[in-house]
């Protein structure tokens, strides 16, 4: 008989996890043994009454914290009026209101038009359908390390982990993956050192991809995460993003910014693209948009959103209850939580940098990102050998210490709490994190 040597999960949690394993699909990524009972702000409680600081926010989703009273009120008020009518066939004001708001904050100097969806992957599907429709071209360029979703079109763009694609081929044709960020490993046959001096990802697209693989005038879009999320919380070089814009302008290609994880104020600005000073043609949003209610959006320059009637649609997309939650969410983000994200994010980064001085696994790793989208990479040595097992251990030990924290990429931990998180909770969470890291490093013989 196996003995549970940890204090968490408690018996009620364990019973639910066991029942889950009988009826729920085994397809989900190995989950953490945390069974939620309720949440409030940046804290959650499990069914055994144990409390946790939530640095995961349901994968960067609960932007206004768990069950914010204003969001709950908006949901209840809307649900009392009507829950569904099908925005594909009829009109309702709350849908117009959220579209107006999203158009007003769109990160480009041109009026915007909006298509509302249920999820992130559906927003990505919409964005590539729109790019194909508008340009009349078939091909799309995406990046290694990218995560754009799991439905067939989005999955074709995703190139984060083989397990996500394995067994599902053939995917949608016409997708070309290229290295993310500068510099990339040279594929021109030059010495790598020489390559690093002058090869950029843009060189790769123009000198390799466009010469050997696909003609630029057959490419509809380049789809980019302005901060790579699932791939490891990587903030790319500004020059890289500008070079992509230049390529798009030169060849009539659309630049799609997938801001599903990085958008809605998480980075301290409405959109991460604003940090790069580059304007996309289409933006996708979801995750933090409605504080956890299912809602996504394709936001495009007006001259691009040229779908004719009947070209696209979704029964549940733009659900009125989700739209009402989103309106309340965006108001809270605009009136304080976005600024809080910038401030708390800066503090988390400083604390992690300080921890680098006395934690061997942090010392040579990347501390990357901005606002409340921060990644800390755990590595074994100066050559930055990924400390994957150690990272996984920290996540698990953190549960015992009352902290929810998620991994990203090969060996990164992501710090993506709700945008409303107060300094006290940040400090407490960081203490629990450091305690967990120390324990894991001791177990691995690093301390």
Name the site residues for ligand PLP (rule: CB under 6 A).
59, 119-121, 124, 147-149, 225, 229-230, 258, 260-261, 286
Q: In what order do the strands lie in the sheet with 36-40?
A: 36-40, 43-46, 51-54, 403-404
8 A C-beta contact, residue 149 and residue 287: no
Residue nearest ligand PLP by beta-carbon distance: 120
Specify the residue, 149 or 417, whose C-beta has the smaller distance to ligand PLP.
149
Residue closer to ligand PLP by CB (options 116, 214) is 116
Least separation in angstroms between CB 221 and ligand PLP: 14
CA distances from residue 76 to 1, 58, 221 in whole angstroms, order as listed:
47, 22, 40
Quote the least distance from Cβ 123 to ligand PLP, whole Å. 7
Between residues 59 and 218, which has the closer beta carbon with respect to ligand PLP? 59
CA distance 153 to 173: 9
* Residue number, 181 or 401, with CB nearest to ligand PLP: 181
C-alpha span between 157 and 234 (Å, rounded)? 18
224/304 with CB nearer ligand PLP? 224
Nearest-approach distance from CB 168 to ligand PLP, in angstroms: 15
Task: State the nearest-atom distance from the C-beta of 399 to ligand PLP, in Å.
Answer: 21
Q: Identify whether the C-beta of residue 115 lies closer than 8 Å to the C-beta of residue 126.
A: yes
Q: How far is CA 440 from the centre of its chain?
A: 26
Q: Closest approach of Cβ 102 to ligand PLP, in Å?
A: 16
DSSP 288: G
Q: Give the whole-angstrom CA distance, residue 420 versus residue 436.
A: 24
Backbone angles phi, psi at 340, to 5 degrees: -65, -40
CB of 29 to ligand PLP, least distance (A): 11
Nearer to ligand PLP, 108 or 233 (CB): 233
What's the rounded Cα separation, in Å, for the pair 393 and 444? 10
**Kind plus residue range of the DSSP H or E element containing 178:** strand 175-178
């Amino acid at each position: 008989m196996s003995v549970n040597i940890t204090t968490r999960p408690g018996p009620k949690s364990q019973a639910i996890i066991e029942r889950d394993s009988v009826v729920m699909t085994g397809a989900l990524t190995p989950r953490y043994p945390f069974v939620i009972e309720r949440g409030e702000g940046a804290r959650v409680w499990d069914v055994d009454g144990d409390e946790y600081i939530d640095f995961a926010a349901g994968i960067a989703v609960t932007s206004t914290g768990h069950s914010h009273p204003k969001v709950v009120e908006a949901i209840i008020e809307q649900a009392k009026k009507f829950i569904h009518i099908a925005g594909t066939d009829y009109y309702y004001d709350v849908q117009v209101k959220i579209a107006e708001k999203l158009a007003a904050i769109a990160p480009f100097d041109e009026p915007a038009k909006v298509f509302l969806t249920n999820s992130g992957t559906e927003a990505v599907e919409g964005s590539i359908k729109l790019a194909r429709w508008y340009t009349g071209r078939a091909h799309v360029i995406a990046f290694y390390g990218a995560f754009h979703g799991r439905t067939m079109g989005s999955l074709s763009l995703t190139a984060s982990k083989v397990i996500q694609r394995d067994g599902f081929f053939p995917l949608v044709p016409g997708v070309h993956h290229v290295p993310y960020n500068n510099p990339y490993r040279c594929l021109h046959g030059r010495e790598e050192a020489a390559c690093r001096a002058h090869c950029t990802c843009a060189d790769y697209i123009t000198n390799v991809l466009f010469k050997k693989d696909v003609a630029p005038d057959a490419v509809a879009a380049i789809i980019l995460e302005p901060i790579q999320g699932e791939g490891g919380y990587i903030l790319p070089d500004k020059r890289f993003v500008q070079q992509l814009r230049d390529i798009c302008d030169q060849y009539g290609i659309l630049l799609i910014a997938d801001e599903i994880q990085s958008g809605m104020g998480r980075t301290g600005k409405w959109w991460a693209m604003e940090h790069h000073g580059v304007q996309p043609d289409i933006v996708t949003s979801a995750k933090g948009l409605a504080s956890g209610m299912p809602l996504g959006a394709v936001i495009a320059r007006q001259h691009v959103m040229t779908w004719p009637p009947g070209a696209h649609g979704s029964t549940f997309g733009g659900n009125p209850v989700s739209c009402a939650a989103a309106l309340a969410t965006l108001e809270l983000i605009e009136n304080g939580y976005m600024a809080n994200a910038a401030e708390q994010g800066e503090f988390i980064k400083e604390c992690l940098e300080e921890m680098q001085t006395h934690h061997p696994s942090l010392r040579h790793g990347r501390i990357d990102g901005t606002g409340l989208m921060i990644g800390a990479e755990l590595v074994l040595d100066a050559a930055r050998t990924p400390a994957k097992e150690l990272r996984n251990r920290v996540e698990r030990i953190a549960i015992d210490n009352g902290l929810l924290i998620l991994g990203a990429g090969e060996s990164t931990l992501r710090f993506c709490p709700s945008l409303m998180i107060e300094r006290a909770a940040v400090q407490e969470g960081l203490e629990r994190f450091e305690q967990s890291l120390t324990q894991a490093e001791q177990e691995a013989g690093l301390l």
